[in-house]
Amino acid sequence: MKRLTKVQDMLFKYMNNVSTNNDRVYPLSWEIVHIASAPQFAKMLAEKRGVDPELAAIATTVHDFGRIVTGIQENHAEAGYLPLRNWLQELNLFNENEIEIIAAAGKNHSSKDVVGTPVEEIVKDSDIVDCYLHGHVISKKSHRKRLAKVKKELNLPEEQD
């Protein structure tokens, strides 16, 4: 998990140079919380599902790179793909296959209704559960369905509407 700590540290340093204007859809303080908490859930899901916990946690750490860079929610996953790939290459911590797995998970994490690779699924699940646990309203049908599926997998009580 040493790479996870390095990636988080480098991402926090990178964020020091990101605009903090009031036009951001989410403040950088939320991004920091999400970067720290969602990967912990990803590690647990990865262990349960037989996926590399470090890779899943790193992909979850950087999945919102597009929104971090621009402050914009709309199409942030797709928009973050190339900047994230470039940033990961600059870190010099990953081979090309790992970079693609991580960047693709970021690119595809907003498509909660599409089944992707095991790492992509963990990123999607960790993202939605982390938002839920932090009190965000889960309103989109595909997000609520995913949350219900993960809660069932973990034997947690279902939502009462």
**Pick from 38, 65, 52: nearest CA to 123:** 38
Does the residue 161 lie in any domain?
no
CATH of the domain at 69: 1.10.3210.10
The pLDDT tens digits for 87-112 are 999 999 999 999 999 999 999 999 99
**44 band by pLDDT with thresholds 50, 70 and 90:** very high
- A 10 A CB-CB count for 95 gives 8
The pLDDT tens digits for 114-158 are 999 999 999 999 999 999 999 999 999 999 999 999 999 988 887
Does the residue 144 lie in any domain?
yes
**160 band by pLDDT with thresholds 50, 70 and 90:** low
Does the residue 90 lie in any domain?
yes
Does the residue 158 lie in any domain?
no
Residue 148 is part of which domain span?
2-153
Dihedral sign from CA coordinates of 11, 12, 13, 14: positive
Does the residue 159 lie in any domain?
no
Percent of the chain residues past pLDDT 90, beyond the cut: 85
Task: Report the number of distinct structural domains present in the chain.
Answer: 1
Does the residue 128 lie in any domain?
yes
